[in-house]
Structure formats: C-alpha cells, structure tokens
Amino acid sequence: SKQEVLAMRKQYLSPALFHHFKDPVMTVDGSMQYLFDEKGRRYLDAFAGIVTVSVGHCHPEVNRAVIEQTQRLQHTTTIYLHNQVAEYAKELTDRMPGNLKVAYFVNSGSEANDMAMMMARLYTHNHDIITLRNAYHGLSEATMGLLGQHTWKCAVPQGAGVHHALNPNPYRGAWGNDGPRYAADVADLIQSATPGKVAAFIHETIQGVGGAVPLADGYLPTVYKMVREAGGVCIADEVQTGFGRTGSAYWGFENQGVVPDIVTLAKGIGNGLPLAAVVTTPEIAAVLAARLHFNTYGGNPVSCAAGRAVLRVIDQEGLQANCAAVGGHLVEELRRLQGKHDIIGDVRGRGLMEPAVAEVAQVFERCKDLGVLLGKGGLHGNAFRIKPPMCWTTADVDFLVAVLDQALSEL
C-alpha cells in the first residue's frame, strides 16, 4: 500500500529524498500525458518526471525499441562493438549544427557537465569557468560548484575556479531584456577574477530549476565572443531545453543564434531511460585520447535504442511543431489568467516550458487534488514549472488552465 511504501522509503532510503505534495502521489502506471495512482486515479502530468518523459509515458515506439533490444543484448560496454551506439551517435550529431559532430555517452546530466568542464580545461589549458547566478547544472561534486542557487548548496568546498556572472533575467534583472548590457558583467569577471584567460562559459538557455528564466535577448552572442577572445569555449547545457521542447528550435541555443563548442544532453534524450551525452567538435573531442576516460554504462544498447526511438517519434509525430502550437496556446491562456489574478507576476518561457508565479504551495496542492501534477522551482520555490510531455494537446492546456484558475480563485 501507499502507506507501506512511504514507511519503507523513510526506513531504507536516504533522507536526501523528498517528495512533492503533503500527501505524496504514488505513481503506478503512465500513459502518454497521464499518470495513474494506486487507486487508478488519473492525473494530467505537467512535469514529465522533471522534464524527462519527452515523448510521453510508455510511448509505444520507445517501448517497442527497448523491449526488442532488451531481449537481444543489454550490456557489454564499449570495449566491444555494437551497432546501436554507433548509429545513434550518427543520428544525434546529424541534428547538431556546425562542427558538433562527435558524441560521448554517459548516464546523467551531472556526468555530462562534469565531462564538458574537464574537456574544456584540457583543451584550453585554462582553469577558470564562468557560470550564471541562478544556474543548475547537476549535483555531482564538480557541478555543485556551478550552482547559482542556495537551495542545493551544502557545506563542503565547491567550485574552485568557478565564477558566477549576473544572470540576464528579463523579468527581475536590472537591465530588463537588454542581453548585451548584462554581458558586461562577464567581461568584468574575466578582468577581475581570472588571469584574463578562461576555460569555459557554461549556461542553460532557459534556466530550468531556477524557475524557467530565459536569457535576455542578445546575451549569448555577446558573451560567446568575449569568452572566445579570452581563450575559452562555450558550453550549452541543453539538458532541459533540447529536442524541440522550446518549439521555435530543436536546440535551445538556436533561439539566440549561437553555435556552442560543447553541448550537454540528458533528461528528455532517453524519455526516462538512463542516457546522457556530451557532443562536441572533433578538435575538442581529441583531448580525450584512448584510456583517458571510461564509462561503464554509457552508450549501452538499451538506452541507445530508446534514444533513437525518441528522435524518430519527435520527427514522425511533429512534436517540435506541437510544442510551438500548444506552448503558444498555453502562454496565451496563462496571460489571460494573469489579467484575472493579480498574484501572477510573470508568464514566461518557450514552447512547452512555461512557469506561472503564484502562492505556489497552496495552488500546487490544490491542482493536484483537482487532477494536475505541476512542477515548481525558482530561487524561492515560487515559480510553477509547466514542462509536460511534448505530446500535450490544446485540450490538456485548457484543462490545466481551468484547474489553475479554480485553485487561484480559492486563494
């Protein structure tokens, strides 16, 4: 029973675990945009296992690919040859712009960002890394140093050589939506906190855990230029924004017209199977000579089969266009709610990546009671994170908005 699972979790699992909702939801089944609890109650999923179940829960095409591969071969590591990892690397890098043509597979976003930082340092022979305030790039020992949020920091030394620049937040930032003006802070950091040379600049294109904060217009082209002039490489963390979720582009960085030197991928890449990747240029990839790195599970055939199925489904079902259309409807409807409820400060995002700010705690619980599972985030936990499976329809948006409207009206 749910009570037994809760008790066992308390007894046998790390206290680091936390759950959403005072009375947590026990998830038993999933089907596309819906989750079902132990009593068979259906919820509309607006958070997709934290922006991860990209094409829908138990999507039949992903299921088929995973089952087929599971029945043939599950794991040998890359010391043997296998077609899945090779074909997947080609299919994935075919979707990348410029010279981003070499992939290395790992298992989580944190690992991918660890590796990106290491490659940047090896390639440039520099040490300093610039990240943004309000950033989230993972919780491994190294990526914890990149954190720009007090929420996840802990009392161990972190982030030697890491510097936090002002995040170009169009809603709350000092310079509004003027990206190049915020970039001056990066120039200042390079001058004042580094030897004048840097290894890398790492960024999300929409700060996800930080409350879906997009980067002000024109920010990335200006910063990329500064960082490259200081000898560094530019790392785009596409863990939340990749694979068409923003609707207007396949990769989030394309929305600002830049091409990074290293791209990190996780979450939606495998629809929930453990899969992550670092994609870079052949020149940068060359810093990892044979035996300089190894990853036991990375690129395992089952995860790669899932990754390939995700790419096919996004294309076949036109999910990027769906994100643009359904996401556009979502913004419109949330703006309508904003006009009605003073408590909503801002509606922002792209495609199916939108938050609404409110008295989150109460509304969050009430929406759950009414059948919608939202996410939340931001420095103060006061931003709703609406990042559903990309198969959401306009009817799902209308249901969410009706539920949100009711919950807000009850405040």
Residues lying near ligand PMP in the complex (CB under 6 A) are found at 108-110, 113, 136-138, 204, 208-209, 237, 239-240, 266
DSSP secondary structure code for residue 57 in this structure: B
Nearer to ligand PMP, 200 or 239 (CB): 239
Closest distance to ligand PMP from the beta carbon of 94 (Å): 23
Q: What per-residue string of b and e applies to 28-54 under the rule 16 or more CB within 10 Å gives b?
A: eebebbbbbeeeeeebbbbbbbebbbb
Closest distance to ligand PMP from the beta carbon of 144 (Å): 11
Nearer to ligand PMP, 110 or 167 (CB): 110
Closest distance to ligand PMP from the beta carbon of 382 (Å): 18
How far is 356 from 344, CA to CA, in rounded Å? 6
Nearer to ligand PMP, 222 or 240 (CB): 240
| Closest alpha carbon to 147 in 228, 236, 207 | 207
Nearer to ligand PMP, 109 or 231 (CB): 109
Nearer to ligand PMP, 222 or 241 (CB): 241
**At 106, is the secondary structure helix, strand, or coil?**
strand
| Closest alpha carbon to 399 in 347, 329, 343 | 329
- What is the number of other CB atoms lying within 10 angstroms of the CB of residue 244? 27
230 near 190, Cβ under 8 Å? yes
**At 317, is the secondary structure helix, strand, or coil?**
coil
Closest distance to ligand PMP from the beta carbon of 51 (Å): 7
Closest distance to ligand PMP from the beta carbon of 341 (Å): 28
- Specify the residue for token string 């990042």: 387
Nearer to ligand PMP, 386 or 407 (CB): 386
- Specify the residue for token string 């996780």: 266
Closest distance to ligand PMP from the beta carbon of 111 (Å): 7
Residue 185's H or E segment, with its range, is helix 179-193
Residue number with the smallest Cβ distance to ligand PMP: 109
H runs (alpha helix) in 163-318: 179-193, 219-229, 282-285, 301-316
Nearer to ligand PMP, 111 or 261 (CB): 111
How far is 93 from 90, CA to CA, in rounded Å? 5
| Closest alpha carbon to 354 in 63, 49, 47, 22 | 47
Closest distance to ligand PMP from the beta carbon of 1 (Å): 29
